[in-house]
Amino acid sequence: MSLTRKIKDPTDAKRRRMVEDYVMAKGVDDKRVIEAMLKVPRHLFVEPALAELAYNDHATPIGSSQTITQPYTVAILAQEAELKGDECVLEVGTGSGYTTSILALLCQRVYTIERINSLSNKARKIFNKLGYNNIVCFTGDGTIGIAKHAPYDAIVVTAGAPKVPIPLAKQLKPQARMVIPLDNGTGQIMTVVTRTKGMHFKVDKKADCSFVPLIGKHGWSK
Ligand code: SAH
């Protein structure tokens, strides 16, 4: 796919470079994911003092000891969710709201939950500013899911879990996918858990990854 087009603002060029060098060059080829990553102004989701670092392929601090997920990993999360456009998605771990924003461009509605109130509030303000009005924010322990809006067409977890949180598995629609980083004793593996039938699931291990811990009733204790 050619990314040549008129550059409208200086961050357009940075986004294009980010997508070409860290997303497409590493094998992500989902056109909708690429388009979304070209659009969302990632620099708005980090502290202004760190805006220069926003388009590097790193996890960058966002306050409260948490980090914005690195571009390549966001692309893999989004690609593995296999969204077509009409889904309702649950995201666990709003963080800066960057991954939420990418998902919001790929599906009909995103319910996102964050355990740290200040991060949730900050993300909410950015969503309003950018006019992403298909995002619904919650504050609390996302390892228990959000039963009120379940079942979901996809669940995306953006923090590393010790095991699949059972309440989340139960909130998947039949055939729906959960993308979740799981601990394997030595590191984390991005894992796709597909609900095949009833409480039967298929587990596919994808790439190595590195996320902050998923802390909660069905996650780590701290
Ligand atoms: N994807 C986000 C960053 C994820 S960092 C981004 O692009 O910015 C992971 C986030 O998960 C952190 O903000 C952390 O506070 C949050 N988190 C950890 N455990 C959680 C839980 N049980 N419920 C909700 N959020 C949780």
Which pLDDT score, from 0 to 100, does residue 45 have? 96
- 62 in any annotated domain: yes
Query: Which domain, by its residues, includes 96?
Result: 10-209
- 162 in any annotated domain: yes
Q: What does 73-115 look like in DSSP terms, one character per residue?
A: HHHHHHHHHT--SS-EEEEE--TTSHHHHHHHHHSSEEEEEES
- 153 in any annotated domain: yes
* Cβ 212 under 6 angstroms from ligand 1: yes
Which pLDDT score, from 0 to 100, does residue 4 have? 54
- 41 in any annotated domain: yes
- 177 in any annotated domain: yes
Contact partners, residue 199, CB within 8 Å, separation at least 6: 169, 170
Domains identified in the chain, total number: 1
CATH code of the domain containing 93: 3.40.50.150
Which pLDDT score, from 0 to 100, does residue 87 have? 98
Q: How does pLDDT run across 1-21, given as a tens digit for each residue?
A: 555 555 567 789 999 999 999
Q: How does pLDDT run across 187-217, given as a tens digit for each residue?
A: 999 999 999 989 999 999 998 999 999 999 9
Which pLDDT score, from 0 to 100, does residue 63 have? 87
Task: Supply 65's token pair.
Answer: 């000891």
Centre of ligand 1 to C-alpha 97, Å, is 9
Mutational test site, ligand 1, from 116, 166, 168, max ligand atoms within 8 Å of CB: 116
- 3 in any annotated domain: no
Atom of ligand 1 nearest to the CA of 214: 19
Contact partners, residue 212, CB within 8 Å, separation at least 6: 65, 66, 67, 159, 160
Closest residue (by CA) to atom 4 of ligand 1?
95
98 touches 45 (CB < 8 A): yes
* Cβ 37 under 6 angstroms from ligand 1: no
- 218 in any annotated domain: no
Which pLDDT score, from 0 to 100, does residue 10 have? 79
- The contacts found for 126-130 with CB under 8 angstroms, 24 or more apart, are 126/44, 126/45, 126/96, 126/97, 126/101, 127/97, 127/100, 127/101, 129/44, 130/40, 130/41, 130/44, 130/101
Which pLDDT score, from 0 to 100, does residue 8 have? 66
Which pLDDT score, from 0 to 100, does residue 222 have? 82
* Cβ 66 under 6 angstroms from ligand 1: yes
Centre of ligand 1 to C-alpha 9, Å, is 30
Which residue numbers in the chain have pLDDT < 70? 1-8
- 222 in any annotated domain: no
* Cβ 40 under 6 angstroms from ligand 1: no
Which pLDDT score, from 0 to 100, does residue 184 have? 93
Centre of ligand 1 to C-alpha 139, Å, is 11
